[in-house]
Amino acid sequence: MAGSDVMSSYRRGVKDGLPFLLVIVPFGMLFGVLATEAGLSVFEALSFSVVVIAGASQFAALQLLQDQAPVLIILASALAINLRMAMYSAAMTPYIGKLPFWKRAVAAYFLVDQVYACAALDYERHPAESAAQRFGYFLGVATPICPVWYLATILGALVGGAISTGYGLDFALPIAFLAMIGPMLRTPAHVVAALAAVTGSLVFAWLPFNLGLIVGGIIGMVAGAETERRLEARSAEGTRT
């Protein structure tokens, strides 16, 4: 029975992950095209996607490489963009943190935006599921997303200049993030953090080497944390009175 429950969760995960193919395929192909245009071989482009497996930071790093930015700036920018992964990991720990190490390692590798967004919502909807079922769902969502990301990268790298970047395939990134972030802005702290980060990124967009994004991210985290602190203090004060 336990095995069938895990498979049922896995199939539900696959079903929830399939719609993201509309974003993953063009986005991965675009990265492959831009990677080859930047001088990377097909193998290097694929290795980039396999090792990093984070589209936003891959595009940022690729752009900075083309701009001949210092290595430290490239690394700092990629790390700043991927700081959200640390928050994803912390959010997943209560649900799958007791799994064996190898399963946690697999989950850590495949903890990309789309997988996290689906898993976070599904775990709240099914609080009675076991850790094994949750891991099954996690893998189910990752199945149509991560391998296709690799394949799309290869396809984009192979066709290279046959796909014009003027087609606007880069629309996939902002649409994907809006679709994932929108339903998750459920508290005032979340909303304040998002607005502050966007505002900070726009105000400091003039900074070189994409540093405006780093500054905006820091501003958003500080604003969100401070908002949450004040709301908790106000709630505690109201409880005492």
The pLDDT assigned to 162 comes to 60
The pLDDT assigned to 235 comes to 78
114 within domain boundaries: yes
180 within domain boundaries: no
Q: Does 96 lie in the same domain as 43? A: yes
Amino acid at 168: G
Q: Does 120 lie in the same domain as 41? A: yes
Boundaries of domain holding 217: 185-241
pLDDT band at 203 (very low <50, low <70, confident <90, very high): very high
pTM assigned to the model: 0.72
Block residue for tokens 């009675």: 128
Q: Does 203 lie in the same domain as 145? A: no
178 within domain boundaries: no
Q: Does 109 lie in the same domain as 163? A: yes
179 within domain boundaries: no
The pLDDT assigned to 169 comes to 53
Q: Does 122 lie in the same domain as 144? A: yes
Q: Does 85 lie in the same domain as 189? A: no
The pLDDT assigned to 84 comes to 77
What count of other Cβ atoms lies within 10 Å of the Cβ of residue 106? Answer: 16
Q: Does 193 lie in the same domain as 104? A: no
DSSP single-letter state for residue 185:
-
CA count, 13 A, side-chain hemisphere, 200: 21
Q: Which two tokens stand for residue 148?
A: 């296709």
Block residue for tokens 């192909």: 29
- Count how many domains the chain has: 2
Mean pLDDT in residue range 68-74: 80
DSSP-derived 3-state class of residue 82: coil
| 217/236 Cα distance (integer angstroms) | 29
| 213/203 Cα distance (integer angstroms) | 10
Instruction: Dump pLDDT digits (tens) for 87-103.
Output: 888 889 999 999 999 99
What are the residues whose beta carbons fall under 8 Å from the beta carbon of 56, sequence distance 6 or more? 81, 173, 177
DSSP single-letter state for residue 97:
T
Instruction: Dump pLDDT digits (tens) for 103-143.
Output: 999 999 999 988 998 999 999 999 999 999 999 999 999 99
What are the residues whose beta carbons fall under 8 Å from the beta carbon of 104, sequence distance 6 or more? 96, 97
Q: Does 190 lie in the same domain as 167? A: no
The pLDDT assigned to 1 comes to 46
What are the residues whose beta carbons fall under 8 Å from the beta carbon of 187, sequence distance 6 or more? 228
Mean pLDDT is lowest, of 5-19, 70-84, 171-185, 204-218, for 171-185
Q: Does 197 lie in the same domain as 164? A: no
Q: Does 113 lie in the same domain as 26? A: yes
64 within domain boundaries: yes
176 within domain boundaries: no
The residue from 171, 196, 222 where one domain ends is 171
Q: Does 136 lie in the same domain as 217? A: no
Residue 153 near residue 28 (C-beta atoms within 8 A): yes
Residue 192 near residue 210 (C-beta atoms within 8 A): no
DSSP-derived 3-state class of residue 19: helix
CA torsion sign for 101, 88, 26, 73 is negative
Q: Per-residue pLDDT for 191 more than 70?
A: yes
- What's the chain's average pLDDT? 83
Residue 173 near residue 27 (C-beta atoms within 8 A): yes
Mean pLDDT in residue range 152-162: 83
Q: Does 127 lie in the same domain as 94? A: yes
Amino acid at 241: T
